[in-house]
Amino acid sequence: MKALLLVDLQNDFLPGGALPAPDGNSIIPVVNALIDQFELVIASKDWHPNNSIHFQKWPIHCLANSAGAAFPEELNQHKIKTVLLKGTRNSDDGYSAFEATNIQLTNILNENQVDQLYVCGLTTEYCVKNTVLDALNAGYQTYVVKEAVAAVKAQPGDEEKAWEEMQDAGAIIVHYA
């Protein structure tokens, strides 16, 4: 079975948010179109406590239960069956959806006999990349939908480096037509 994993498509990572991917809004129509092509749709969210050590490196973003941590209204959420919460403790960054603390992503994928994982979301250089690398390490055939991923662009060249790293590790980069 194939599954779609939406990584951190949250208000704080969109333009106007606390830690925006400049082109983040452009992926929402593509993600909405993809959602209807999958029987199993899973999403991850950053879900940080107020006192997270994560904020020593990054601006305060995606505080648990805040508007910034919510999915954008434009996102078609009807098929999202499971939401993974990550970065929930003061001591963890939670870059990968495989680091969720409320549910084990591997358990969901195995219970549903997922062998093909399609990944999209925010941001290319951090949470998407780390999720993709963890999926590959766990043995899943992993696809990344290029037009459904956007970068935060914190450092010049990081986005391109992330795409290369994912591909070199075995991810299959696909294009939404």
pLDDT bracket for residue 40 (50, 70, 90)? very high
Max CA separation in the chain (angstroms): 42
126-171 pLDDT, tens digit per residue, is: 999 999 999 999 999 999 999 999 999 989 999 999 999 999 999 9
Active site residue 127: yes
Q: Which is the catalytic residue, given 62, 127, 129, 134?
A: 127
Residue 169 corresponds to which tokens in the numbers above? 């590790």
Average pLDDT, rounded, for the chain: 96
pLDDT bracket for residue 23 (50, 70, 90)? very high
> Which residue segment(s) compose the domain that 170 sits in?
2-174
Active site residue 36: no
Taking the complete model, does pTM exceed 0.95, yes or no?
A: yes
64-97 pLDDT, tens digit per residue, is: 999 999 999 999 999 998 999 999 988 777 899 9
Active site residue 8: yes
pLDDT score recorded for residue 83: 98
CA distances to 79, 95, 103, 117 from 107, rounded to whole Å, are: 19, 19, 8, 14
> Looking at the 3D structure of the chain, how many domains does it have?
1
Q: Which is the catalytic residue, given 8, 12, 93, 134?
A: 8
- CATH code where residue 132 lies: 3.40.50.850
pLDDT bracket for residue 39 (50, 70, 90)? very high
Average pLDDT over residues 97-106: 96
